[in-house]
Structure 1
Amino acid sequence: MAAVRSLRLSYRSLGYLVCVHHIRSCSRLKLANLEHLKSNKSTFKLSQQHRLFRATAVSSVQIVQFKLSDIGEGITEVTVKEWYVKEGDSVSQFDSICEVQSDKASVTITSRYDGVIRKLYYNVDETAFVGKPLVDIETDVLKDVAPEEDIIETPAMSHDEHTHQEIKGHKTQATPAVRRLAMENNIKLSEIVGTGKDQRILKEDILNFLSKQTGAILPPSPKLEIIPPPPKSKTTPATPKDKAFLMPTPLSKPAEFTGKDRSEPLKGIQKAMVKTMSAALNIPHFGYCDEIDMSHVVKLRNELKDVVKSRGIKLSFLPFFLKAASLGLLHYPILNASVDEKNQSVTYKASHNIGIAMDTQQGLIVPNVKNVQVCSIFEIAAEVNRLQTLGSLGQLGTNDLTGGTFTLSNIGTIGGTYAKPVILPPEVAIGALGKIQVLPRFNSKGEVIKVQIMNVSWSADHRIIDGATMARFSNLWKSYLENPASMLLDLK
C-alpha cells in the first residue's frame, strides 16, 4: 500500500513538473512573440502567433510538358530555327532551350524548370504553335527541404510588400527571365512601362531602361562580338576602265540546276511580307520625287565621323535623314499618323518611331528607331548601329520591329536612284532614298560645278494626305539636309 502511494506521488510530481515546463515554454513563446510584434510595430492580436512545425524532405519526379507560351503581337505560330538542347540533357531555370523565328522577330525560349529533357516535339525548320507542347522535362514536383528543419509559418505579407508586383491594382507581367534580368541590374519592375501584350514587360524594355539610365547602348544577351571587316588589300586601285568589267558579288551561291520544279512553304519573314504587302496594296498610293544637294551634309559627316568613331560608333548619312524627317514631322504631323477606315478616324502619333528598311539574308525587315524627336544625331547613330548589327545576325527583338510610325528605305546602299516604295500599314507615308552621286549642276553664277546629288521618292496614303502636303514636307526635309546648320534652330 505504501508502495502504491509512493508511485502515485511520483506520477503526480512528474505531471506537475511537465505542466510547469509546458507553462514556462508557452510563456517564453508568448514573450518572444510580443517582443517580435513590438519591434515590427505591428497590430496583430496575440491569437495570430507563429506556428512551429517540422518538415521532412519530400521529392516526387514527374514529366512536365513545357508549352510554347504567347510571345505577344498576335503571333500564333513560329518556326524552330535552332535547338540548344537534345534529349537527355540537363537544364536549369533560365537556360536557353531553342531559338524560334516568328513573322516579326527571332526569340530565344528559356526553361522554366530544373530537370532533364525527355522529348523534343519539333525538328529544325518545323512550325511550332503557341499553346502546344515544345519539350517534355522531367523535373521534381517539390524541391527537397533540409531534413528535420524548423519552418516558421508567418502571416501574409502586408500590401506595402507587394509594391514591386502590384501598382495601383495592376500586376506587372514579366517572364522569369525578364524578372531575373531586372533583379541582376537592381531594377524595380514597377518603374518599367511594358510594351508587350497587356503591358507585359519584355527584355527589350529592361535594356532600353538601362540604356537611358547609363547613356549607353547595351549589347544583347548573350554578348555579341562584332568582327570588323578584313583589311583591304594594298593592291593598286582599279582604273575606271577596269571597274567597268567588275561584277557585283552575289549574296549566295546560285541554285543547282536539277530540271525539276520545287515548292517551299512560306514562313517567317516571307510569310509576313505576303500578309503585309497584300494589306498595303489596299491603300491608294501616290508618289512624289525630288533631288537633294547633299554637298553640305557630306562635308559635315566627314568632319564628324572621326569624332563619333572615337566613341565606338559608325556615323552614316542615315541619322541625318532620320533627324531631318522628325523635324519635318513636327510641322506636318498628318504624315506621322494612322487611319482607321472602319471608325472614320485619324490617330496622330506622339512618338516619331522611324523605321529603316534593311535587306538581310532572312529577307526585308524594318526595325525602327524609337522617339527620334527627343534623340540627338549621335544617339540616333548609336541606335542605328545596334539595329544593323542585330539585323545582320537575325537577333532583332519584337520591340525593335513593331510600333513604327514613319519609314525611310535607303535603297542607295544597293544602287538605283528612284523607286516606288510601298507604305507599311498602319503608317501613311514612306520615303526611298537613292544613291549619292556626283553630277554637274549650275550654280547661282551660271557656272557648271560638281554637286553631290541624291534622289528621293515618297509614297503617301491619298485617303488623308494630298500632294501639296507631301511636297511641302519634302521641301522642308530637303532644306534641312541642304543646309544642315538650319537644324540647330529647331533642335530642342
Structure 2
Amino acid sequence: MYFCFSGCGSLSFNLSPYIVVVLCFVLFCFVFPVSRGPIVQFKLSDIGEGIMEVTVKEWYVKEGDKVSQFDSICEVQSDKASVTITSRYDGVIKKLYYDVDATALVGKPLVDIETESGSEVIQEEDVVETPAMAREEHTHQEIKGHKTQATPSVRRLAMENNIKLSEVVGTGKDGRILKEDILNFLAKQTGAILPPTPEIQTPAPSSPVSTPASTKPPPSTPKPVFTGKDITEPLKGFSKAMVKTMTAALKIPHFGYCDEVDLSRLVALRAELRSVAEGRGVKLSYMPFFIKAASLSLLQFPVLNASVDEACQNITYKASHNIGLAMDTSQGLLVPNVKNAQLLSVFEIAQALNRLQALGAAGQLGTAELSGGTFTLSNIGSIGGTYAKPVIVPPEVAIGALGKIQILPRFDTTGQVIRAHIMKVSWSADHRIIDGATMCRFSNLWREYLENPASMVLDLK
C-alpha cells in the first residue's frame, strides 16, 4: 500500500496491510472506547442469626482488581462465626468502604464494582435495607403450594444443576434463596465439603485439641509490652458473643456432678487402632470415643439432648446428636459440633473432628460448624487441670468437662496396687428439668462404655 503526504515535498512510503489493520484498530479504540457497565454498590447482605454488624478481618481484593462471580472479596467476623463474602458480579473493584478491623454494617456498601457491559446486574443486597421487595429485584415462583424467593441468576444456577428450588432452604431474608444456598445444597448431594476458602492447611500433629494424655510444649507467646497507660477497647467478634451467651447462661440453675473414669482399657485400644487410622489419613484421639459414648448414652437419657424455650414452658427433645467440642483457638473459645453423632462410627467422628480442628486452626469455622449444637463436651484436660465447673451453653441443658488423663495408683479386684489411667469428669445440668439422679445415671452409663470399650460394639449401628 502506498501513502503520499501533501505538504511534505516528495515524502512517501509503503505500509504493509498488517500495519494498516493495527493502526485502524488503535484509532477505533480511541474514537470508540470499550463501554463499561454501571457501577453498583455491593452491600453486605443479611447473613442470618440476627447479625447486624461484622468486623472486616481481611480483604482479598484491592481497588482496580478484576473479579468474577463467586470470587472471594473479603472475610468478615461476626459475634458467631467467620464468613467469606463472595462477589455476585463480574467487574472491576472501584472502591473499598472499610479498612481491616473496621466494623461493617448489614445493608451498607462493602465495595463498589464497575460491572462489565452487558452483564446481568441485579441489586440483590438491597433487600436488606428495604423490607418491601421491588418487583424488578425478585421473582417469585409458586412451587408445591408455597412461594420461593430467588433472583434470576440464582434460578439459572439451580436449573443448570437440576436442583428444585422447593428442596432448598433459603438463608436470606424472609427465606430468600441465595447462591450460597444452591452451592451448599449441591455439595450435600454430591458428598463434597465446601470449606469457607479454597484451601485449608492440614494441622501438624501437635495441632489444637489433641489427646488429653499427650504432652505439648507450652505455646510461644510474645513478650508483653508495658506502655504505662490504660488501654480501653470495645468487645467485638467472639468475645462479644461470649458476653451474650454467658449472660444468658447465668439465668440457668446449674447442677454439678463429678466422677472419675478408669481409661486403662481405652488407652490400650486406642494404641492398637491409632496406626490403622493414620493409615487412612485420620488422626485418632480419645475424643471420638468420648463423643460416641456420650451419643450412645443420650439414646437412653434423651432429656440431656433437649432444649427449653426462654420461659422454660416447653421442652424439645432433639433427634440429632450434634455434640459440640469446646475448642481453644487463636480467635478465642469456639464450640463447633459434630453433626448426627448417633449415625457415625468412631472413625467417622474422628474424620469430622480432624476437619473441625483444621478449620479452627485456620480461623475458618463458619456458622454451619458453630450452630445447631445439642450437647457439649469441653476437653479442658488438653491444656491442664482435673476438675472444672463448666457453664451450660443455652439453649442446651447439659455439658461435660474432661480433665487430663493421669497415671495414678488404684486397687484391682484382688487388692493389688496397679497403674491406672484416670480421668476426672465434671458435669453441669439444667436443674430445672434434669434432676441429680438422671445426671448420675447418665454419667454411670457413659463411664461404663469407656471403661469397657468393647461394650460399645453391642450398641453400635
How far off is 1:269 after superposition? 0.6
2:351 equivalent among 377, 382, 391 = 382
Q: 1:399-419, CA deviations, whole angstroms, 9 ceiling, x for partnerless residues?
A: 110000000000111011000
Matched, 1:334 2:310: no
2:60 equivalent among 84, 91, 94 = 84
Greater than 6 Å deviation, 4+ residue runs: 173-184
Matched, 1:315 2:290: no
SS at match of 2:295: helix
Contact map agreement 1:112 1:176 (CA 8 A) in 2: no
2:169 equivalent among 155, 178, 194 = 194
Q: TM-score, normalised by structure 2?
A: 0.79
Match of 1:351 in 2: 320
Q: 1:160-181, CA deviations, whole angstroms, 9 ceiling, x for partnerless residues?
A: xxxxx87424456679999899
How far off is 1:255 after superposition? 2.3
Match of 2:198 in 1: 222
Match of 1:32 in 2: none
Q: 1:357-385, CA deviations, whole angstroms, 9 ceiling, x for partnerless residues?
A: 00001100000000011111111100000
Contact map agreement 2:41 2:113 (CA 8 A) in 1: yes
How far off is 1:188 after superposition? 2.6
Q: 1:387-445, CA deviations, whole angstroms, 9 ceiling, x for partnerless residues?
A: 01001111112111000000000011101100000000000000000011110000111
Matched, 1:325 2:294: yes
Provide the C-alpha distance between the structure 2 equivalents of 1:364 and 1:273, rounded to a whole number of angstroms: 8
TM alignment of 1:256-295, pairs within 5 A? 256-295=225-264
Cα-Cα RMSD: 3.0
Match of 2:437 in 1: 468
Contact map agreement 2:44 2:108 (CA 8 A) in 1: yes
Provide the C-alpha distance between the structure 1 equivalents of 2:326 and 2:156, rounded to a whole number of angstroms: 33
Provide the C-alpha distance between the structure 2 equivalents of 1:207 and 1:363, rounded to a whole number of angstroms: 27
Provide the C-alpha distance between the structure 2 equivalents of 1:365 and 1:177, rounded to a whole number of angstroms: 35
Match of 1:65 in 2: 41
Structure number with bigger Rg: 1
How far off is 1:228 after superposition? 3.7
Matched, 1:74 2:43: no
Contact map agreement 1:431 1:459 (CA 8 A) in 2: yes
Q: Against the structure 1 CA distance between its residues 331 and 143, is the aligned structure 2 distance closer, same or farther, given a 3 Å change threshold? A: closer
SS at match of 1:456: strand
**Alignment length (residue pairs):** 399
Matched, 1:404 2:373: yes
Contact map agreement 1:217 1:382 (CA 8 A) in 2: no
Q: Against the structure 1 CA distance between its residues 406 and 75, is the aligned structure 2 distance closer, same or farther, given a 3 Å change threshold? A: same
Match of 1:106 in 2: 82
Q: TM-score, normalised by structure 1?
A: 0.74
2:92 equivalent among 116, 125, 135 = 116
How far off is 1:249 after superposition? 2.7
Match of 1:454 in 2: 423
Match of 1:360 in 2: 329
Match of 1:126 in 2: 102
SS at match of 1:391: helix
How far off is 1:182 after superposition? 7.5
How far off is 1:297 after superposition? 0.9
Match of 2:135 in 1: none
How far off is 1:272 after superposition? 0.5
Contact map agreement 2:201 2:358 (CA 8 A) in 1: no
How far off is 1:309 after superposition? 0.9
Provide the C-alpha distance between the structure 2 equivalents of 1:368 and 1:60, rounded to a whole number of angstroms: 46
List gaps (5 residues or longer) in structure 2.
1-33, 121-140, 207-214
TM alignment of 1:124-273, pairs within 5 A? 124-140=100-116, 142-143=118-119, 167-170=143-146, 188=163, 190=165, 194=169, 196=171, 198=175, 200=177, 210=187, 214=191, 221-226=197-202, 228=204, 249-273=218-242
Question: Is the deviation greater in 421-430 or in 173-182?
Answer: 173-182
Counterpart amino acid of residue 437 in structure 1: Q
Provide the C-alpha distance between the structure 1 equivalents of 2:317 and 2:101, rounded to a whole number of angstroms: 40
Contact map agreement 2:201 2:362 (CA 8 A) in 1: no
Contact map agreement 1:337 1:349 (CA 8 A) in 2: yes
Contact map agreement 2:253 2:430 (CA 8 A) in 1: yes
List gaps (5 residues or longer) in structure 1.
1-57, 145-164, 231-245
Q: Against the structure 1 CA distance between its residues 451 and 202, is the aligned structure 2 distance closer, same or farther, given a 3 Å change threshold? A: farther
1:417 equivalent among 376, 383, 386 = 386
Provide the C-alpha distance between the structure 1 equivalents of 2:436 and 2:200, rounded to a whole number of angstroms: 45
